[in-house]
Amino acid sequence: QKEVEQNSGPLSVPEGAIASLNCTYSDRGSQSFFWYRQYSGKSPELIMFIYSNGDKEDGRFTAQLNKASQYVSLLIRDSQPSDSATYLCAAGGSNYKLTFGKGTLLTVNP
Amino acid sequence: GAVVSQHPSWVICKSGTSVKIECRSLDFQATTMFWYRQFPKQSLMLMATSNEGSKATYEQGVEKDKFLINHASLTLSTLTVTSAHPEDSSFYICSSTSGNTGELFFGEGSRLTVL
């Protein structure tokens, strides 16, 4: 059974701070990893994907992957109230089927 | 990114009726579409993989006779919830990939409420 685990939170950070979201996965065969943001009542939207060990930066977002530890993280710098949402971590293999975590609820306080 | 359009965005129906949800890829050809279901405060659970021109592949525990999937063209997949019951009330989301990056692009989602 493939599993993706996330801390359900809620995670609360002040505006301007760094938010750190973590995720572990059980399937060592997973090749691709994704972070989605989901606002309440809305569909998920892709923030970042990462395939290789190390860091990948895109604006205020940095994804980190450590395949040896089966660990993925997302850092959000200079957090804004508009970043408040549930963040979903997902792991996928070669068939494009993704396994999602339950999500971490992030609240950024003004 | 690629655009996936889903319709209707919400629907309320009586128990025992059937509901059809459409998912369209607007700017790319979607050979494969995925149908997810999400209950409140839960993650997305894959229901089935829809392949153009062939039968859908259902995940374990998903009733194929209850959740009918049709993928007759490269831009349209439909999910029909047959004889819906209150426990089928959920947020149904379709998605597809574009290119070879493995990214999933989601439709807007359809919230089904069965009375």
Please, which residues 52-81 of chain B have a Cβ atom closer than 8 Å to chain A?
Answer: none
**Interior/surface letters A75-92, b for 16+ CB within 10 angstroms, e for the rest:** bbeebeeebbbbbbbbbb
User: Is residue B108 within 8 Å of residue B9, measured between CB atoms?
Assistant: yes
Asked whether residue B2 carries a pLDDT value surpassing 70, the answer given is no
**Are A101 and B43 within 8 A, CB to CB?**
yes
B103 or A109, which is more confident: A109
Chain A CB contacts of B49 under 8 Å are: 97
User: Is residue A101 within 8 Å of residue A5, measured between CB atoms?
Assistant: yes
Q: Supply the pLDDT for residue A9.
A: 81
**Are A102 and B42 within 8 A, CB to CB?**
yes
- In A, minimum Cα distance to B108 occurs at A43
CA distance B44 to chain A (A): 6
User: Is residue A109 within 8 Å of residue A13, measured between CB atoms?
Assistant: yes
Q: Supply the pLDDT for residue A7.
A: 83
**Are B43 and A103 within 8 A, CB to CB?**
yes
> Residue B53, class by beta-carbon neighbours within 10 Å (0-12 exposed, 13-18 middle, 19+ buried)?
exposed
Which pLDDT band, with edges at 50, 70 and 90, does B52 fall under? Answer: confident
Asked whether residue B100 carries a pLDDT value surpassing 90, the answer given is no
Lowest mean pLDDT among A73-77, A78-82, B57-61, B98-102: B98-102
* One pLDDT digit (tens) per residue for chain A, 110 residues: 779 999 878 999 999 999 999 999 999 999 899 999 999 989 999 999 999 999 999 999 999 999 999 999 999 999 999 999 999 999 987 777 889 999 999 999 99
Q: Supply the pLDDT for residue B102.
A: 64
